[in-house]
Every structure is written in structure tokens, then in C-alpha cells.
Amino acid sequence: MQIVSDLKKLHIGKVIDNVIMKNYTTYRVGGKAICMVIPDDEDCLIVLLKYLNKNKIKYKVLGNGSNVIFNDSGYDGVIIKLSNFNSLKIINNKIIVGAGYMLNKLALRVSRLGLTGMEFATGIPGTVGGAIYMNAGAYKSDMGYIVNSIKVLTPEYEIKTMYNKDLKFHYRTSFLKENNGYICLEATISLIKGNSKEIMDLIEQRKKRRIETQPLEYPSAGSVFRNPDGMFAGKLIEDIGCKGLIKGGAKVSEKHANFIINNGNATGEDIKELIMELKKRVKNKYNIELKVEQEFVE
């Protein structure tokens, strides 16, 4: 394909053609994309984006694929992975970390050092950039509480710093999610000195509870729906008898009704259909419009 050939000639990093998205998402669904590019650095990323925009080729910046649903019919665009943006500096209680660094790995590392504030993130299998993009959170905390600033690439190919107040962090959303032309390159996170034993004990307790209450043994993408104010989406779904509901290879978890699992041979289309069915049933029963936390990539 001409696009793949052109990208390889740019010498901007690794270019993987015939890439199947099911191998890069935690749902383990998704068809073929044009290719995947792993840029070497910021300059290479800019060259890549200029080429894609000039040629009107769509693209998706992908973290760990832990909150996205690709169709099995394929993605007619280029996938960009910032795996090489994985630097890490820890200066007292300040963390400077690349967008491609795994969030749960970072959270465990700083927690073991006795820094508190990232305990919530130890069970979130995304990248730092992806977590900031969607303001990932758990246990009544999220990225908005700990991110001091980020380095972004703007749609005009400028690298600038955005501070917490600029990032419009709200429940499972941020400025980045609402302004897709901006790409997070690096984050500065501020934590507080704590007691490492107490921190690790809390993480261990939460890990045990997750194993007991979530279907971690199956491919999924965590919570499907945001919790409505004062309610739990999983409880609403459970109360209308939808635990175990199946569409093709996708199934509402028997363990936690706000999880959809790939039961072995699900397609992205199966998962989307099941999500829409749950939305419809909850709306019909309670007149509540559930908001999908996960992202459909078209």
C-alpha cells in the first residue's frame, strides 16, 4: 500500500503493516488497520502528523487499548502508539513521566516508594496519556487530583504546557477528550509523602476485592457505563435482569453487570450491540440515559 511505503520512507520510527487491532485492545476485538506507527520521538511524531493531515488520512492515537472498541470490519486509518514516550523521572514527590508509560506500573512504583495519591490507579491497565485523556479514576479519585501539568502537541504542531486548570478534568472526561487535535506527550504529577506499608496494604486489599468482584479472567475494558449521580450503573443493569445477557460472543458479566466480557469469539460489533441494548433497556425501565465510558472507534 502506498501509505505504508510512504511512511517507511520517512524514517520516523517503526511502521507495522497488516496490523490487527484485536491484538492491541483489552477486549481482544478489532479488524485490520492500514498500519501502526510507533514514532521515535516528538519530531518524528510531528513529521507523521503532517503527512497524515496533508493526505487527509485519518488516525487514532492509541494507548494500551483498554477503553476502546474497534469494529472487526477494520479501521480505515493509521494507528499511532507512543510506546517510545516512556521516560520517567522521580524528584522527591514530583513525577515527570512520558505519555506512553503504563499507568498501573507507575502507580505501583511510586507507591512502593511511599508516595501516596496514585493508589487508585494500580488496577487501571492504561497508559498515562490515555488515563489523562479520559480522566481515568477509581475509589473516588482520578487523574485530575494528581496531574499538575502536561506537555502537549497542539493541532498547529506546537509543543506547549497545559496546567491542571486548563485541562477541564471532570468525571471521565478532559480537555483532551473534547479537543482531539491535542496529544499528550508527557505529564508532571504531584504526590504526597506517605507510609509505604500502609499504602501497599491498601493496594493489596483493593486487589483482592477486584479479583472477587470483577471478571478479570476475561478480556474486557472495565466499566462500560459511567455511574449516574447517586446510583451505580451495574446495579441498574442487574436489577432489570441483564446479568449474563449475550449478543454473539459478547456477554454481560455474571460477576459485575457493568462489565461486558469477550466470551471467546466476540466482535467489536457484538460488544457495541450489547451496549446499545443495555442502554435501551435501562432507558425504558428507569428513564435514565446511561453514558458509555468506552469509546467506539469508527
5 catalytic per annotation:
no
35: confidence class by pLDDT, cuts 50, 70, 90:
very high
Domains belonging to the chain, first-starting first, are 2-81 (3.30.43.10), 88-198 (3.30.465.10), 215-292 (3.90.78.10)
pTM score: 0.95
DSSP label at residue 89: E
Mean pLDDT of 59-72: 97
295 catalytic per annotation:
no
284: confidence class by pLDDT, cuts 50, 70, 90:
very high
**Per the residue annotation, which of 83, 111, 223, 253 is the catalytic one?**
223
> Which helix (H) or strand (E) segment is 27 a member of?
none
172's CB contacts (< 8 A; 6+ apart) are 134, 135, 136, 137, 142, 226, 293
Whose cell is 512502593? That residue is 112
The string of pLDDT tens digits covering residues 124-147 is 999 999 999 999 999 999 999 999
Mean pLDDT of 58-85: 97
Cβ pair 253, 261 in contact under 8 A: yes
**Per the residue annotation, which of 28, 42, 172, 174 is the catalytic one?**
172
Q: Is the pLDDT of residue 180 over 90?
A: no
289 catalytic per annotation:
no
Mean pLDDT of 263-269: 96
**Per the residue annotation, which of 42, 119, 186, 293 is the catalytic one?**
293
Q: Is the pLDDT of residue 272 over 90?
A: yes
Residue 129: all three cell numbers together? 496519556
Average pLDDT of the chain is 97
Give the HSE-up count for residue 168: Cα atoms under 13 Å, Cβ half-sphere: 7
Share of the chain above pLDDT 70, in %: 100
Mean pLDDT of 174-192: 97
1: confidence class by pLDDT, cuts 50, 70, 90:
confident
Q: What is the pLDDT of residue 137?
A: 95
